[in-house]
Structure 1
């Protein structure tokens, strides 16, 4: 059956002057007559002949298995002008067995689709669309070829044995090319995607594509693709080319000129048929009228703005700012060291000050024995004249039987495992009033060697931890660059400045403060260590028997931990996501733990935890953090078990602190002895002395500490916070701050002083930490949510046009940690002229 062909010929206005190139209307007629003649010669019949079409006019018709329609649209392109054509089609038929097929033929490509257009979503759900609109890939003539005439053929066909109605509308786009710093509004849907062209201006090397929408849903995808036909602008193929992001309310993609040889690219906008990828729900019913209603809701209004990114000079300024800001700390440290040196020289020239007890300069042979009251339970301390090491003596004051006055033996077991020594510990450490001389009885070299293990162990941990981390994040960055999937990494895309293969160089550069200040702290500790060694070699009495015993192993470990925090934080920000969150927090746990250990070691040098048990505890915490992120969101049993472990660990640690490590639940006879000892302890400490604990100050600290930790446990069990890593870090920080406050309060209660330098460091620490935490809580992204939801929190840069709020947090937290370390290093400098048997333990 012969079909009816609708032929519309646009009358061409006569040209005012002869032209070397025929007018588009004349050329079109000639081409159409030639095509019709060729079709007739081949016996195709009139229905196979192309009908001239006009832009902007709606064509309606019917097609079936024996009737096909062909339309031809002609236009002329000028050099430097990009002409884009958009084809809109519609069919009222919902018969999926006999769809209407549309084929668009251009000079260099073919584009085809069917109506109803079918999209597949999660769980094989299907979504059918009756209206489809596609932009054809434009062809731009070159100046060498001059203007050119273009023809587009649109074929409409169907294999249906009955007539199916259709509508066709072909238009030329007026606003196809996006302009710099000019917002453009448009609408898109799953079956009607949009894309536009952008060409780099001459003086712009990098731009940021900013897309915003008032509506969260429907979920959409923004893609940047090179000028290649066909353009991938459908849900099932938009990820095949270029870089792309999912989007709810906003998205931002940084594009560099060097990545596009033609210095131009397409910006593609695709609306997804369902919202699951952006964190939305999946419809329960999608058939019949529900499907049509769902499709009508899938239209989204978008606004795109392309703005120039920062220039190379801003990169240079940012790097200078980062390094000079922290190098100023080096300058300040040199000034303080110089002033201290001048003061020491003046004191040396005027004669050294006497100690606070007014006893004057003492001989270094028996400094403690000379002033210890007769009958004291401390025991005498014998100082070896050859090495400066002190040996234990018996309670009667004589040398311990079998003791070796040659201190070349440095094994702790030689000094600390005899039964009488153990008994001596129980007597001394359970006194109501303890002084530092009671807890600094071990040989200095043995204790120093014990604390140096912290330093060497943390270096070993850092090497074995950092190398796999660096390898992994390089792999992540490579995957992002190769696939173009910018949903892998959770950047603040509104302030992500690429450099080389790195997508967010600013987040990495801002961690330089941790490394520079960590190294500076190591230099400060090294200087103190060298001065202390010189004083020990000179057998200076103030170094031997006055002030807090100087052991620098934990300080060295803290400096390395601060540097590694910078390294691992930078590695995490190469590609921040759900899988590598622990890189950014692992050494924060270790820093908090080392600070607490150092604070405790200050007044308890002989009974502090060993490096092996401390690092093993940190490993357990990191394992719990990983398990919490994996299972803590929905598993109530994880929170129950974790809360129980938290409470029991708090009680066990409190017991050890309260009894100075001398509490042991064991029995000489059998297992019943263990319970008998526990009952006796509870009866003695909780019933007989319930009115007033034996160690009141420690009891107050431990009660407050347990209340804080139990509150954390209850809070976690009830609210189950999603960011489990930050939750554990908050527990560590609160315990550290609580212990530091207790230490400073007890120090002031004991009539001890705060010198100007530690006082300045305390004030600086409080101020800088407050500012740092303000920027920390300005959440710019969240790997706990979908990438599209995370981008809703993105915000522009706030510092130098290069750094965002989180970068400022990096700067300030590095300075705050540095000042915190200085507080621990200088807090007890006022005790350097106080005898150890007059320094209280708390």
Structure 2
């Protein structure tokens, strides 16, 4: 008879009873048709901890009767151990343990199947019996062990029934035990009063063999074999360590079993499958995979840890709101005192309203270098009618720095202020010719690239915000639905190998398995919203300056466009939301949820840096998001194909190099480069002029475009070559590293060129740069701790798991979330304030680089 493995089902129990009914008449001298042999039944009164060495054959059935005293308030484990003394046996020996409330049966040799239906035979088998429940304080219960075989020859065996000395696990007490595939172990834990949640930690002394840790309710049968341990409860595969958080509310009996099963093969935990030679019967004889485990259960202080964790998280990020509010109040008071001081110094009478408002030319930042409010560039007076006409013409003097204001005032008025399109200024051939002349100058100023109408450009950049808001809605909804499905599957099946948590610091809440990893993403959302409020406040101040005809706001400094800032803040908020969704069930199939908006943030920051000095020629929102969509598409392909597919890496490297060349060329020629039939001739000409005739340098100087393009191309080529040669497993992180590296290089180049151009960095910007750099350093330190990795098997990933390090609630990755959100917020502030020192400088004196 084939071994049934775990406890008997009703059908199996009926077959066993039928077997006994058929054999008992033979033992009493009866006969069956066609049966001449007499079946002998031998029953022994047996005792615990005594080894019985007997033999059975097809004519002999051995029954061992045991008496077991059960005490209601005392739980005691009973274990049956069997090993076969006969070296070769044709038919296995069947052992059936009949208890009051359960029947357990198994055969020896025990046959367990592995991958590809490979069979493994085990001669030594040990099983723990189900625990009987006593109705009275003390009760004596009987159980029987039946031993039978169909072998004609005598099959020798040894049988021993023993009590498990330490069957009850206790909180914060470590316990060691041994286990093999044929000798599984399980122990009982009962929740003490006041303990609502515990974390079960199991540690192995060696990486292999692979094991399975299961948490099961107090029911019979207990599923403790490799082929059935996954049928019920929660379970994890493990090599060196495993951890499962268990809550009292999930078990009506306030207790559970901790089951440890050693697998027959190690491939489930990441090891290569060994090739065992098969004998003629298709069974592989394999030595015991014995390993030593240590088990310890630790209490989780749910209420205290959760409250402290949430208060800590809210406190950190609300402090940024408070700091911003105090800074705004201080700045407002400083400006007010400055206004009062200037008003007193000017000795001007109050205006008609009695507020004592002074003209803007008395305030710092209200007049450009070379201009004064109420005068033209040549120093002649400018009448209020000319100012009004120039503002009402629909063409703010925004883009015509360095030209006399009368030329602006004499420009024709637009018919409609509400329907302004960029193409209104690009339809004439002379405009195209003017672009070619202006943008190919050897030295460019911001005024050369800020020639279009301010409202047209602002409308163009506002599309960034509306597009990313639309993308966020349609991207987030299916993501949320999918991760809810993932979490539901984990909770229903109990398979904790689906999600790659840091199980040593996973605090569940409701249906969520790792609430702490979700909560720590709150900073992205709160700081993203705060950045939007700061940008909104700046935009209001700028619009007020334009409404009062502040010449400085119209003619000086970097052109103020806020659409990209709004898009950056929205992307930061969405990064927090999608990162939280990813950490509901982190695995390789949804890793792009965590990185998609990181690509967005990196791309938008680079666009904003470029827009500062090139407001007229920056990419449109549609083309920018289309390029980011291509990046995300390759990210998904890279995760799916990974390191194994050489064709993918070749195609990606070719596309990467071609895109690099096209982008570098477009930047080099300030958008005036065209892809047409003359492209080959122009390439030859550029190679000749920049590389052969002028070996000392390119056509455009360093602070312009030349060496920046060359350096960027070299770096991009190096990264493409590294990816093609090394083929990193984590393609998504590799692609993200490319974007972040590009951003950091461009950021560093921008700051260096700003200083080389004689510009200054204000203290507030310098403070943000310093603090952000320090925070980024600490953030990256915690990021590279690597608490889990979906590039390996779940069991191998758990080897990197670590304990909580902050408030007994947050782990290293949570701290990465805190610090990276603060660092991103600081980086945004640097972008926002970096060029504040140019607010009083004419645009024809601000270099382009």
TM-score, structure 2 normalization: 0.89
Change in Cα spacing, 1:535 to 1:100, as seen in structure 2 (3 Å) is same
| TM-aligned CA deviation for residue 405 of structure 1 | 4.3
Aligned to 2:475: 465
Matches within 5 A, 1:237-252: 237-252=228-243
After superposition, the Cα gap between the structure-2 partners of 1:358 and 1:416, relative to the gap in structure 1 and judged at 3 Å, is closer
**Does the 8 Å contact 1:183/1:304 carry over to 2?**
yes
Q: Give the counterpart of 1:361 among 368, 372, 376.
A: 372
Match of 2:21 in 1: none
Aligned residue for 2:169, secondary structure, equals: coil
Q: Does 1:274 align with 2:265?
A: yes
1:330 aligns with 2:315: no
The 5 Å alignment of 1:308-347 reads 308-347=299-338
Q: Counterpart in 2 of 1:784?
A: 791
Q: Is the 8 A contact 2:395 2:408 kept in 1?
A: no
1:695 and 2:700 aligned? yes
Candidates 501, 508, 517, aligned match of 1:498: 508
Offset of 1:363 from its aligned partner? 3.5
Partner of 2:69: 76
1:137 aligns with 2:147: no
Give the equivalent residue in structure 1 for 2:446: 436
Answer yes or no: is the 8 Å Cα contact 1:765–1:816 preserved in 2. yes
Contact 2:42/2:61 (<8 A) preserved: no
- The number of equivalent residue pairs is 790
Q: Is the 8 A contact 1:595 1:736 kept in 2?
A: yes
- Contact map agreement 2:394 2:413 (CA 8 A) in 1: no
Asked if 2 retains the 8 angstrom alpha-carbon contact of 1:94 and 1:130, the reply is no
SS in 2 for 1:599: helix
CA contact (8 A) 1:39 1:49 kept: no
Which residues of 2 match residues 430-829 of structure 1 at below 5 A? 430-666=440-676, 671=677, 673-697=678-702, 698-829=705-836
CA contact (8 A) 2:223 2:232 kept: yes
Q: Are the equivalent residues in 2 in contact too, given 1:354–1:360 (CA < 8 A)?
A: no
Tell me, in whole angstroms, the C-alpha distance in 2 between the residues paired with 1:392 and 1:301: 76
Deviation at 1:643, TM superposition (A): 1.8
Secondary structure of the residue aligned to 2:746 is: helix
The residue aligned with 1:34 is none
Distance 1:522 1:289 in 2: 74
Match of 2:589, SS state, is helix
> Would the aligned equivalents of 1:355 and 1:834 in 2 still touch at CA under 8 Å?
no
Offset of residue 353 of structure 1: 3.1
**Take 2:423 and 2:107, find their aligned partners in 1: how far apart are those partners?**
85
Alignment of 1:2-13 (within 5 A): none
**Aligned counterpart, 2:354:** none
Deviation, structure 1 residue 41:
8.3
SS at match of 1:296: coil
Secondary structure, counterpart of 2:821 in structure 1: helix
Q: Deviations over 1:758-777 (max 9, x none)?
A: 11100011000000000000
Distance between the aligned counterparts of 1:526 and 1:354, measured in 2? 20
Matches of 2:338 and 2:62 in 1, distance apart?
Answer: 105
Q: Give the match for residue 48 of structure 2.
A: 55
SS of the residue 2:48 aligns to: coil
Does residue 257 of structure 1 match 2:248? Answer: yes
Does structure 1 retain, via aligned residues, the 8 Å contact 2:392–2:413?
A: no
Matched, 1:175 2:166: yes
Instruction: Give, in angstroms, the shift of residue 692 of structure 1.
Output: 2.9
The change in CA–CA distance for 1:392 and 1:139 in structure 2 (over 3 A counts) is closer
* 5+ residue gaps, structure 1: 1-36, 372-381
Q: Give the stretch that moved more between structures: 597-606 or 704-713.
A: 704-713
**TM-score normalised by L of structure 1:** 0.90
Secondary structure of 1:578 counterpart: coil
Which is worse superposed, 820-829 or 343-352? 343-352
Contact 2:367 2:552 in 1 (8 A): no
Alpha-carbon contact 2:369-2:841 (below 8 Å) kept: no
1-side partners of 2:403 and 2:516: how far apart?
64
How far did residue 702 of structure 1 move?
2.0
- Alignment partner, residue 24 of structure 1: none
Structure 2: segments with no counterpart, 5+ residues: 1-23, 32-37, 343-361, 382-388
Counterpart residue number, 1:155: 146
Of the candidates 290, 293, 315, which is equivalent to residue 299 of structure 1? 290
Q: Tell me the CA shift for residue 139 of structure 1.
A: 1.2
In the alignment, the residues of structure 1 paired with residue 83 and residue 161 of structure 2 have an alpha-carbon distance, to the nearest angstrom, of 12
- Do the aligned residues in 1 keep the contact of 2:394 with 2:414 (CA within 8 Å)? no
Q: CA contact under 8 A between 2:442 and 2:701: conserved in structure 1?
A: no
Given the alignment, which residue of 180, 183, 198 partners 1:189?
180
Which residue in the other structure is 2:349 paired with?
none
State the partner residue of 1:118: 111
- Partners of 2:694 and 2:585 lie apart in 1 by 57
Deviation (angstroms), 1:700: 2.0
Residue 507 of structure 1 deviates from its aligned partner by 0.2
Structure 1 position 683, deviation (Å): 2.8
Q: What's the offset of the Cα at 1:284? A: 1.0
Deviation at 1:173, TM superposition (A): 1.2
